[in-house]
């Protein structure tokens, strides 16, 4: 099937294009054109901007659902809920829990994906834990922390049907470096998180295959000029991506801008959203922990720690765009192309380019999503 999109503006990787048509062939982008053939099908978005679909590589839940619910319905409802927010791809994200609960969550997500997700599409499972250390535990349950176990991971990978694509761990745990080397060889993205590792330990982890740091400045030792710590390793290592929650609470806006300048296209915007996203203030759970969401959508555990976020990824983009002096197309791709690059998927998705999947978002001048398409199919349209 072939059709054309007409719009006032397109956000590309390194520029904006104005007043053009773009061809979509069998769910993939074709070429830009000034005119279209006679009788061609045209989807007219005159007055609007077309941007690539967003890719949330770290999301636990939203709208009352959580991946750790261990139900197919949760994965499907999350898929639906993020579509009107401009997200076309996501990684269903677990958190530290009992082996039985992780088994159930992994198996049910895999089954839901096989049956077909109604909205945004899963690009694989992200295991956040359980191989963490307690000092920077955040809302992860230390009762289940343990050393990396390759046989345990392989068991989970079998349950998932080979769809675990990312795992977060603390590199200072016993056996972590060998574990990182082995799973990295299987094309699993290893992220460093909830860790008090030294700068040198983090660098050693990158040397053996780790290529990502989860929620920069949160769940890790901070930056000091004589002790760079985990945050320093994330900022200075050009081989590694760094994920950032741009809600203004997890990281100060000026530090978010600094991170953006330092990491450039290796900065990945994420939400770390939990079930309270899109919900009213009140009492919720993140895994086994009760959390309270109060004014401004900030969720905290009873001990006062931030408990994930309720951020919409498109709001993270808008925030960093507002805080920085960078053009929208550049910041937008930190939430679409950079995530795809971190997983080695950049030839398939993440930007509007010939041959890539036609995942796109229609935006008005206020960055309100008017429509979202996945592989060329319109999945959401604002009434």
| 135 DSSP 8-state letter | G
Q: Are residues 23 and 130 in the same domain?
A: no
Give the pLDDT confidence score for residue 207 in this predicted structure: 98
Cβ–Cβ under 8 Å, residues 59 and 272: yes
Give the pLDDT confidence score for residue 383 in this predicted structure: 76
Give the pLDDT confidence score for residue 300 in this predicted structure: 80
Q: Are residues 123 and 207 in the same domain?
A: yes
Site of tokens 């998927």: 345
Site of tokens 């998180």: 193
Q: What is the distance between the alpha carbons of residues 13 and 197, in angstroms, rounded to a whole number?
A: 35
Q: Are strands 42-52 and 2-11 parallel, antiparallel or unpaired?
A: parallel
Q: Are residues 40 and 168 in the same domain?
A: no
Q: What is the distance between the alpha carbons of residues 11 and 50, in angstroms, rounded to a whole number?
A: 6
Q: Are residues 370 and 333 in the same domain?
A: no
Contacts of 322 (CB under 8 A, 6+ apart): none
| 137 DSSP 8-state letter | -
The yes-or-no answer on residue 272 being catalytic is yes
Give the pLDDT confidence score for residue 136 in this predicted structure: 85
* Of residues 183, 244, 190, the one with CA closest to residue 219: 244
Q: Are residues 194 and 161 in the same domain?
A: yes
Q: Are residues 255 and 162 in the same domain?
A: yes
What's the token pair of residue 47?
């007055």
Inter-axis angle of helices 253-263 and 313-323, to 10 degrees? 90
Digit-by-digit pLDDT tens for the chain (383 residues) are 899 999 999 999 999 999 999 999 999 999 999 999 999 999 999 999 999 999 999 999 999 999 999 999 999 999 999 999 999 999 999 999 999 999 999 999 999 999 999 999 999 999 999 999 988 877 788 899 999 999 999 999 999 999 999 999 999 999 999 999 999 999 999 999 999 999 999 999 999 999 999 999 999 999 999 999 999 999 999 999 999 999 999 999 999 999 999 999 999 999 999 998 888 888 777 777 778 877 677 878 777 777 778 999 999 999 999 999 899 999 999 999 999 999 999 999 999 999 999 999 999 999 999 999 999 999 999 97
Question: How many other β-carbons are positioned within 10 Å of the β-carbon of residue 178?
Answer: 12
Contacts of 139 (CB under 8 A, 6+ apart): 95, 286, 287, 289, 291, 301, 305, 306, 307, 308
Question: How many other β-carbons are positioned within 10 Å of the β-carbon of residue 60?
Answer: 27
Give the pLDDT confidence score for residue 108 in this predicted structure: 97
What's the token pair of residue 82?
């993020």
Cβ–Cβ under 8 Å, residues 320 and 331: yes
**What's the domain count of the chain?**
2
Q: Are residues 306 and 371 in the same domain?
A: no
Q: Are residues 270 and 372 in the same domain?
A: no
CATH code, domain carrying 8:
2.30.40.10
What's the token pair of residue 57?
């590589």
Range of the domain at 10: 2-51+351-381
CATH code, domain carrying 188:
3.20.20.140
Q: Are residues 205 and 336 in the same domain?
A: yes
* Of residues 24, 42, 20, the one with CA closest to residue 377: 24
Which class for 310: exposed (0-12), middle (13-18), buried (19 or more C-beta within 10 A)? buried
Q: Are residues 30 and 97 in the same domain?
A: no
Q: Are residues 204 and 332 in the same domain?
A: yes
Active-site annotation holder among 200, 272, 315, 359: 272
Q: pTM for this structure?
A: 0.96
Q: Is 85 helix (H, G, I), strand (E, B) or coil?
A: helix
Give the pLDDT confidence score for residue 237 in this predicted structure: 96
- Give the containing element (helix H, strand E) for 58: strand 54-59
Q: Are residues 31 and 122 in the same domain?
A: no
Give the pLDDT confidence score for residue 47 in this predicted structure: 97
């Amino acid at each position: 099937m072939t059709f054309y999109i007409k719009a006032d503006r397109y956000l590309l990787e390194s520029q904006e294009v104005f007043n053009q048509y773009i061809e979509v062939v069998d769910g993939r982008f074709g070429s830009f054109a000034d005119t279209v053939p006679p009788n061609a099908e045209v989807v007219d978005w005159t007055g609007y901007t077309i941007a690539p679909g967003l890719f949330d590589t770290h999301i636990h839940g939203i709208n009352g659902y959580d991946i750790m619910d261990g139900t197919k319905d949760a994965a499907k409802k999350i898929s639906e809920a993020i579509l009107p927010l401009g997200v076309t791809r996501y990684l269903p994200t677990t958190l530290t829990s009992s082996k039985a609960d992780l088994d159930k969550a992994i198996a049910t997500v895999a089954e839901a994906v096989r049956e077909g997700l109604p909205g945004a599409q899963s690009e694989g499972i992200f295991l956040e834990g359980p191989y963490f250390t307690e000092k920077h535990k955040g809302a992860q349950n230390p009762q289940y922390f343990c050393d990396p176990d390759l046989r345990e991971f392989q068991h989970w990978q079998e349950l998932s049907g080979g769809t675990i694509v990312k795992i977060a761990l603390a590199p200072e745990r016993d056996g972590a470096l060998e574990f990182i080397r082995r799973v990295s060889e299987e094309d699993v993205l290893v992220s460093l998180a909830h860790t008090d590792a030294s700068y040198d330990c983090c660098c050693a982890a990158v040397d053996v295959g780790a290529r990502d740091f989860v929620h920069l400045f949160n769940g890790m030792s901070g930056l000091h000029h004589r002790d760079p710590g985990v945050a320093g390793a994330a900022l200075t290592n050009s081989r590694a991506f760094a994920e950032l929650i741009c809600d203004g609470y997890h990281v100060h806006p000026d530090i978010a801008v600094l991170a953006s300048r330092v990491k450039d296209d290796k900065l990945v915007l994420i939400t770390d959203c939990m079930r309270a996203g899109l919900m009213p203030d009140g009492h919720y759970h993140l895994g086994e922990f009760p959390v309270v969401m109060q004014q401004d959508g900030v969720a905290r555990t009873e001990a006062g720690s931030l408990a994930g976020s309720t951020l919409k990824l498109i709001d993270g983009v808008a925030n960093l765009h507002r805080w920085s002096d960078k053009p929208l197309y550049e910041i937008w791709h930190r939430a679409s192309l950079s995530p795809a690059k971190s997983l080695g998927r950049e030839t398939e998705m993440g930007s509007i380019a010939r041959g890539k999947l036609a995942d796109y978002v229609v935006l008005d001048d206020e960055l309100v999503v008017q429509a979202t398409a996945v592989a060329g199919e319109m999945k959401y349209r604002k009434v």
